[in-house]
Amino acid sequence: MNEKLTKQKSQNLTGVFWMILTGICFLGVTALVKFMGTRIPAAEAAFLRYALGLVLLLPMLKDFSQNLPNRKLSILFAARGVVHTVGVVLWFFAMSRIPLADVTAMNYMSPIYVTLGAAIFLGEPLALRRILAILLAIVGAFLILRPGFREVSIGHLAMIFTAIFFAFSYLIAKHTSGKTTASVVVVMLSIYVTIGLAPLAFLNWVTPTWIELILLFAVAFFATAGHYTMTLAFAAAPISVTQPATFLQLVWAVLVGSIIFGEEIDLYVTGGGGLILCSITFMSWREAVIKRKAMTPTVPQTKV
């Protein structure tokens, strides 16, 4: 019994370690995009991130070629590509205009929108505990935005819609994940988003420098690495164990924003993000307890 408990503790620590590393990877994504600034238009930066990232998908091509999606799945993948494309453009737009902490905290709302979308479109029941958790998350969002007490910029509005579009993308991914392999889901998303972003990018093309191309490839690398380490975290420990570790990403975003980019530390943003994450963690924990098929995603699952 003691040996089993020791093994479980070890697996939990491993899962937390991989989730912390996931947070570092996604912080690297946001920090690099923030560092690039606004010289490259949002749609072009997003296009280059996905186009350069296609090379990272080469190890998945064998599995993809053996599990080509049928027509129905292809339509769903195309629909996901459309909503994810819009979400990615809005994310790149917001990232260069509002503080790192604001982007990180507001992105925590995506799983809340997923829960609402699952209830509205997929008929998943909303128990009282879920409703209370959603209300707690809304309070957290108001703490971050504080409408009437500070200016809600166009970057904040873009981030609100970013979280909504990523939530729709996740719902479609959840619907398709049981019908094909993970490699097919990832490859199809990357292909469709790259295609979707191309015309938007070329409408207002600005020739990138070699430094900007290297930075965008690094963005693609960290994003891919983050999703990989997240998978390792889920394999090692339950979501209810690894989810709280994602709060560290907000802490690091506050520190990096303050030290590197000279952004003011906003305790309301940190507190609001904490409330949202508590809400998500509670819902994930309850799903684990009652052993339901989880619909509430972790925060990293709704990233670019």
pLDDT of residue 87: 94
CA distances for 29 relative to 133, 220, 259, angstroms: 29, 8, 17
Q: Tell me which DSSP letter residue 290 carries.
A: T
Spatial distance between the Cα atoms of 96 and 282, rounded to a whole number of angstroms: 31
Spatial distance between the Cα atoms of 29 and 288, rounded to a whole number of angstroms: 30
- Please report where in the chains the tokens 């199809």 appear, as a residue: 188
CA distances for 65 relative to 18, 54, 55, 60, 91, angstroms: 30, 15, 16, 9, 31
pLDDT digits (tens, 9 = 90+) for 240-291: 677 777 888 888 898 899 999 899 889 899 999 999 988 888 887 777 666 5
Spatial distance between the Cα atoms of 205 and 88, rounded to a whole number of angstroms: 17
Mean predicted confidence (pLDDT) in 182-196 = 87
pLDDT of residue 302: 65
The answer to whether residues 101 and 266 touch, using CB atoms and an 8 Å cutoff, is: yes
Q: Which two tokens stand for residue 213?
A: 């191309």
pLDDT of residue 228: 80
CA angle (278, 280, 283) in 5-degree steps: 110
pLDDT digits (tens, 9 = 90+) for 22-59: 889 989 999 999 999 889 999 999 999 999 988 888 88
Q: State the amino acid at position 70 in one-letter form.
A: N
Q: What is the pTM of this model?
A: 0.85
pLDDT digits (tens, 9 = 90+) for 50-109: 999 888 888 888 887 888 888 888 899 999 999 999 999 999 999 888 999 999 899 888
Q: Tell me which DSSP letter residue 109 carries.
A: T
pLDDT of residue 115: 84
Spatial distance between the Cα atoms of 3 and 26, rounded to a whole number of angstroms: 35
Q: How many CA atoms lie within 13 Å of 117's alpha carbon, on the beta-carbon side?
A: 21
Alpha helices in the chain (DSSP H): 2-36, 42-53, 61-66, 71-95, 100-107, 110-121, 128-145, 154-177, 182-203, 210-236, 239-242, 247-259, 267-289
**Which string of b and e fits 219-255 if b means at least 16 CB within 10 Å?**
bbbbbbbbbebbebbbebbebbbbbbbbbebbbbbbe
CA angle (165, 21, 253) in 5-degree steps: 60
Judged against a pLDDT cut of 70, whether residue 160 lies above it is answered with yes
